[in-house]
Chain A
Amino acid sequence: MPSERDIRTRIRSVRNVSQITRAMEMVAASKMRRAQQRVGASRPYSERLRAMLADVAAMASGADAQEYPLLRQRPVRRVEVILVTGERGLAGSLNSNIIRRATRFLVDEMESQHVEAQLITVGRKGRDFMRRYQREIVAEFIAIGDRPTLADVTPIARIAMDDYISERVDAVYIAYTRYVNTLTQRPELVKILPIEPPEERQKGKYGEYLFEPSPEAVLEQILPRFVEISVYQAILESIASYYSAQMVAMRNATDNAKTVVSELRLALNKARQTRITNEVAEISAGANALGEVAG
């Protein structure tokens, strides 16, 4: 049985830990709110760009005739996966979930089909893991921060597009954590190259569009933008997911610490009670003994 002093020391240390996790929870909560706003703020652009792409792709001649490098489908022998993870841990199972999703894809869906794979890692955790397992990493981005601008993430999209256009890879995927709500974040793996133009176009609403300079020229400019925006969105979602997972993990840790403290408190009280009882028993036994001698 641990002594009262030991228990007191433990209570103090658990309390200190809970103060730290509580502070981290609050920091994560405020970062999460801002990251959420950023996800929301970037949606209008990507939705409208998507709609525009659908309109343009439908009008441009040869949009399906393999004329545009970013639309061109070809047999897949080698793929590239952009893996977006957190910079650090302390976020529950967030990082391991997305890494597991990516690994499963690499092993079950690619290797079993004899498709080679290379990786672009965004975030330290994914990089460290993939390095440890000696996966081929062609580019790594770390410390992109909590509020990347579109310009900060375009290099990632550029590498992917270069690799695709030069036929070093035949498809590009991005693995990221979709932000559903504070409690739910879902690991996702989606194909971003070749682009499959969305088809939800509001056909005939305005008749034919005029294009300047030409549908083909517009399409050529929209396509790379679309890839950049897809990557940007995935990263914003991952950041929001990271902070909500961290907030929840830290809240759980704080709650856990509270339970531990109350259990320790109980143990401490019991120990004190036992000691007092023992002391009283000793004193009365002593008194009895004296009385017998005197009497």
Chain B
Amino acid sequence: MPTLTFELVTADRVVLQEEGVDMVVAPGADGVLGILPRHVPLITTLQPGELRVKRGGDETSLIVTGGFMEVTPEKVLVLADAAERSDEVDLARAEEARRRAEERLAGSRETVDAARADAALRRAMVRIRVGQRRRSSGRVRDDRG
């Protein structure tokens, strides 16, 4: 059975590189995408959200804050603006970021600022949502050590 190579890269490091991946679930521009091997070539922008990489019975969950994804039949390449593993999310920091963004959103009338605050708010919400779920389920594989 064919599998995928998966690569998640940010501006300052290669976050995850994995062979033999069975499925990737990503927050695409037009909704959540499930990518299986032999997918048609695709380039899409990403929304802030959860990105899941399944291999055998294991699943790695990551949070991306936006970026791009290029899919070819044997490879998935994600160029993320920022990415972190779901089990590394700092919930307190995310809450703090959400609070700040909400404040700014309430206070600002300028559209640029509002758009930025809105984007920050959405990123914080994703972090909190995914972070909490991961923490309670504890299903995340840890292959760091």
Q: Say yes or no: A38 contacts B45, CB within 8 Å.
A: no
Q: Which residue of B lies closest to A208 (CB)?
A: B41
Q: Which of under 10, 10 to 19, 20 to 34, or 35 or more describes the interface residues of A?
A: 20 to 34
Partner of A45 from the list B10, B33, B72 (CB cut-off 8 Å) is: B10
B residues near A206, Cβ cutoff 8 Å: 41, 72-73
B residues near A149, Cβ cutoff 8 Å: 11-12
A176 CB–B CB distance under 8 Å? no
Q: Say yes or no: B40 contacts A42, CB within 8 Å.
A: no
A75 CB–B CB distance under 8 Å? no
B28 CB–A CB distance under 8 Å? yes
Q: Say yes or no: A150 contacts B11, CB within 8 Å.
A: yes
Q: Which residue of A lies closest to B10 (CB)?
A: A45
Given A38-B12, A212-B30, the answer on whether A45 and B79 have CB atoms closer than 8 Å is yes
Residue among B30, B40, B79 with the most chain A CB within 10 A?
A: B79
Q: Say yes or no: B45 contacts A217, CB within 8 Å.
A: yes
How many residues from B make CB contacts under 8 Å with A? 23
Q: Say yes or no: A48 contacts B11, CB within 8 Å.
A: no
Q: Say yes or no: A42 contacts B43, CB within 8 Å.
A: no
A residues near B81, Cβ cutoff 8 Å: 225
Q: Say yes or no: A218 contacts B68, CB within 8 Å.
A: yes
Given A52-B79, A222-B68, the answer on whether A44 and B14 have CB atoms closer than 8 Å is yes
- In angstroms, Cα B9 to Cα A210, docked, is 21
Partner of A221 from the list B14, B33, B68 (CB cut-off 8 Å) is: B68
Q: Say yes or no: B68 contacts A209, CB within 8 Å.
A: no
- In angstroms, Cα B72 to Cα A68, docked, is 27
B70 CB–A CB distance under 8 Å? yes
Q: Say yes or no: B13 contacts A41, CB within 8 Å.
A: yes
Residues of chain A in range 32-56 having any CB-CB distance to chain B below 8 Å: 38, 41-42, 44-46, 48-49, 52, 55-56
- In angstroms, Cα B9 to Cα A225, docked, is 14
A211 CB–B CB distance under 8 Å? yes
Q: Say yes or no: A56 contacts B43, CB within 8 Å.
A: yes
Q: How far apart are A283's CB and chain B's nearest CB, in angstroms?
A: 76
B residues near A217, Cβ cutoff 8 Å: 29, 45
> Hey, which bits of chain A sit against chain B, CB under 8 A?
38, 41-42, 44-46, 48-49, 52, 55-56, 149-150, 206-213, 215, 217-218, 221-222, 225, 229, 232
> Hey, which bits of chain B sit against chain A, CB under 8 A?
9-14, 28-30, 33, 40-45, 68, 70, 72-73, 77, 79, 81
> Closest 9 CB pairs between A and B?
A212-B44, A206-B41, A150-B11, A210-B42, A209-B41, A45-B9, A212-B29, A213-B29, A45-B11
